[in-house]
Amino acid sequence: MTTTEPTREYDPLDISSQEFWAKPPAEREETFAELRRERPLSWHRPAETDLLPDPDAPGFWAVVAHADIQAVSRDADTFASGQEYGGVMLEDAPEDVLEAAHSILAMDAPRHNTLRKVISSVFTPRRVRQIEDQIADQARRIVDDFEQTTGTVDFVSTVSARLPMWTISEMIGIPDEKRTEIADAAGAMVGWNDPDFIGDGDPMAVLLNGLMTLHTACFELSAARREEPANDLMTALVQAEVDGDTLTDEEIAAFFVLLCVAGNDTTRQTASHTILALDRHPEQKQLLIDEFDSRIKPAIEEFVRWASPVLTFRRTATRDTEIRGQRIAEGERVVMFYHSGNRDETAFDDPHTFDITRTENPHVGFGGGGVHFCLGSHLAKTQLRCLFHELLTRTPDIDVGEPEFLSGNFINGIKRLPVTRGGTS
């Protein structure tokens, strides 16, 4: 592998510091808008991190334009994700953490294709339709509970965190009494950059604790399913054969962590950003209430574009290549900024307008296409449809207060969001 060209200057705009990633999303977007306008491909100092600080860490190319995110995503031969390249996070993580947590996300062909097939059958539109009634039923229960609340409550814990946690737990087969602990541990896996999660501890300890909780729960569950198979994803994982071998406990645990994190945090953040957007754009909310069935499909695409819950994924160039005529050397890091792609003026009309009636919405919220495209996209859309159906038909009158945003460069998170149902304050 060649090393970074030492003489290249870093871009004057800061998108690497923790201070930058602690700013509210709208402020950060001003920087990305400038990059898209002036320097759609730019070279940046390495991400500031407490996780694995390395004074010699190389810089990275920031890919902020919609078309470039698609091009990088769709060329997995040139832009790799594997652990041997350091995986897909903007900052470096210890290799054993990547190994234990990222599974197929940080893998390349041919292993990626083979392992992805093991679980992809569970996430097809047909399979998701089969469990849609259960998801709708659960959404009803969550809104039943929400209807019982009076005064101001936190929308995240009362509503948006609950459906993703329930759905992924049901699919995997996680017992009821373990679900909250697992969802909290999954939250810590993406929140270790935020003071709320770190407290007096250090980020690495937060990350490792979360990981240990998830692995312990997974080992218990996989042992139980080997003993007594059930109709769930964990049973499919312990029975799966890849090239004639069953998966190891560690491979199953890494899948488990990926599914718990990917399945919990993303949909929950989308629901929180959406209720906020609907409140701040009452005319859009009314359009959806008036014609829910015909408008919800394009509306959900807009919810995901608007929320862009996953902010970044990294790739590494496997050979010398070019983006926009700029030479990218083999071994250099290329980071995709999905939120920026979803605000790209060249890809969307009025990208800063929340518009549920968009007929064209080629957002990159689930990734820019290609072999790593989000496996859970149908599931996420089904959950969002069921949840907003209940909310908008039964409790349309909700006052939404000011959000508290999560710090960090990975998840565009809302930690807390005060809401009050109409007439209950």
Residues that bind ligand HEM (CB under 6 A): 73, 104-105, 116, 168, 258-259, 262-263, 266-267, 270, 304, 309-310, 313, 338, 365-368, 370, 372-376, 379-380
Quote the tokens at residue 62.
């920031």
Q: Which is nearer to ligand HEM, 380 or 392 (CB)?
A: 380
H helices within 50-161, ranges in order?
66-73, 95-101, 111-120, 125-130, 132-147, 155
Least CB distance to ligand HEM at residue 182 (A):
13
Kindly give, in sequence order, each residue whose CB lies less than 8 Å from that of residue 210, ignoring residues fewer than 6 positions away: 185, 186, 187, 188, 189, 192
Q: Which is nearer to ligand HEM, 82 or 376 (CB)?
A: 376
CA distance 372 to 74: 9
Q: Which is nearer to ligand HEM, 16 or 266 (CB)?
A: 266
Q: Which residue is nearest to ligand HEM (CB)?
A: 376
Residue 66's nearest CA partner among 367, 344, 306, 362 is 344
- Would you give the DSSP letter of residue 364? -
Least CB distance to ligand HEM at residue 285 (A):
19
Q: Which is nearer to ligand HEM, 191 or 376 (CB)?
A: 376
Least CB distance to ligand HEM at residue 149 (A):
25
Q: Is 410 in contact with 311 (CB distance < 8 Å)?
A: yes
Least CB distance to ligand HEM at residue 385 (A):
12
Q: Which is nearer to ligand HEM, 10 or 373 (CB)?
A: 373
Least CB distance to ligand HEM at residue 114 (A):
11
Which contacts of 93-96 are long-range, i.e. CB under 8 A and separated by 24 or more positions? 93/51, 93/52, 93/207, 94/51, 94/52, 94/204
Q: Which is nearer to ligand HEM, 47 or 119 (CB)?
A: 119
Residue 42's nearest CA partner among 328, 407, 410 is 328
Least CB distance to ligand HEM at residue 354 (A):
16
